[in-house]
Amino acid sequence: MAVAELTIDLGALCANWRALSSLSQLDTGAVVKADAYGLGLAQVAPVLAQAGARQFFVAACEEGSALRDILGSGPEIFVFSGHMEGDTDLIRNAKLTPLLNSIDQMLRHVEALPGHSFGLQLDTGMNRLGMEDAEWRALRDIALAQRPALVMSHLACADTPAHPMNRHQLQNFVDMTDEIDAPRSLAATGGILLGEEYHFDLTRPGIGLYGGLPYTDARSVATLSVPVIQTRDVMPGETVGYSNTWTADKPTRVATIAAGYADGIIRAIGKDAWLWAGDVRCKVLGRVSMDMIAVDVTDLDEEPLALDLLNSRQGVDSVADWAGTIGYEILTNLGGRYKRRYLPA
């Protein structure tokens, strides 16, 4: 078989949710946008619901509609993009709760779906989504009279605990929402780790569920094992891969494995990347190709059948560092060619 195998440990994912939930002792939702960060919405969302999550967050109404089909009528599904033009039927039919980001969205929602559930998103300094302070002050009394299901904002620098932006946004959120009669939410994974004053009424972990930073205590969720197609001996002075970017300086045993940038393995990792054969690290040689990667297996006692790019020793953030990116990008890029295997919760 020349197809890499991606194993998703649903038990580890649920353990991460429970651990993050225990840090707040409040309602804990789950962010499952982008196909549950690339790991499979249809498999991930039900086990999180079984673990106790009753509030789910997605990016767009189309994701929310798909999630409603998966979860049924029970959990609340919040949509970060709010009520966009053309979303009305999806919001009504799937019983979604849009997080309204502007006066325009508020007007669209109450005119199209009077009495339908909604939440509000406030901009506390990130300048991405949400109502700014002046807009919120103009709309506040009218919006609150409609009894929003949630009032939320999002932290820009929660993965850097000492960053002054965290305190700045916290104070802004308190100033904008103090004494309102509605549930409040500020903390995703990083915000949960900042401590109790960031938790309010509902936390909404995302990347930490899937084994990514800044949650350093997360259990590993994804394992990516790539089969070896062929091995060969490369002599000193010979090169490997496109553009001759790696030259052997000693006899080297080279394995060619069956995955590449077409499978979401970012090409830029090549210079610094490693894979694992059991307890032995094996260096990537040369460039990552579309469907293949060359790896030094000289130190192995026997020919490997497969090598691991992701495992309990090497998570998505290690791979992200080699590419100059973040673990989110590694997860959401995991390719469609992989054979997927789910370990039960």
> What residue type is 51 in one-letter code?
A
What CATH fold (topology level) applies to the domain 10-210? TIM Barrel (3.20.20)
Of the candidates 340, 304, 265, 310, the one whose C-alpha atom is nearest the C-alpha of residue 40 is 340
Q: Where does the chain hold its CATH 2.40.37.10 domain(s)? A: 222-343
For 233-253, the pLDDT digits (tens) are 999 999 999 999 999 999 999
The arithmetic mean of pLDDT across residues 312-320, rounded, is: 96
pTM, entire model: 0.95
Report the C-alpha gap between 107 and 61 in whole angstroms: 18
Out of 33, 198, 261, 338, pick the active-site residue: 33
Strands of the sheet containing 184-185, edge to edge, are 30-31, 55-58, 76-79, 97-100, 119-121, 151-152, 184-185
- Decide: 143 and 130 in contact? Cβ < 8 Å: no
Question: Which pLDDT belongs to residue 1?
Answer: 61
Q: Report CA-CA distances (Å) from 76 to 56, 68, 177, 255.
A: 6, 9, 22, 48
Question: Which pLDDT belongs to residue 15?
Answer: 98
**Annotation marks residue 242 as catalytic:** yes
For 54-103, the pLDDT digits (tens) are 999 999 999 999 999 999 999 999 999 999 999 999 999 999 999 999 99
- Which CATH superfamily does the domain covering 222-343 fall into? Lyase, Ornithine Decarboxylase; Chain A, domain 1 (2.40.37.10)
Of the candidates 259, 260, 302, 263, the one whose C-alpha atom is nearest the C-alpha of residue 280 is 302
Report the C-alpha gap between 131 and 103 in whole angstroms: 8
For 167-212, the pLDDT digits (tens) are 999 999 999 999 899 999 999 999 999 999 999 999 999 999 999 9
> Residue 50, exposed/middle/buried by CB under 10 A (0-12, 13-18, 19+)?
exposed
> What residue type is 230 in one-letter code?
Q
Confidence of residue 310 (pLDDT cuts 50, 70, 90): very high
Confidence of residue 17 (pLDDT cuts 50, 70, 90): very high
Out of 210, 215, 242, 250, pick the active-site residue: 242
Question: Which pLDDT belongs to residue 313?
Answer: 94
For 265-308, the pLDDT digits (tens) are 999 998 999 999 999 999 999 999 999 999 999 999 999 999 99
The arithmetic mean of pLDDT across residues 98-117, rounded, is: 96
Per cent of the chain over pLDDT 90 is 95
Q: Where does the chain hold its CATH 3.20.20.10 domain(s)? A: 10-210
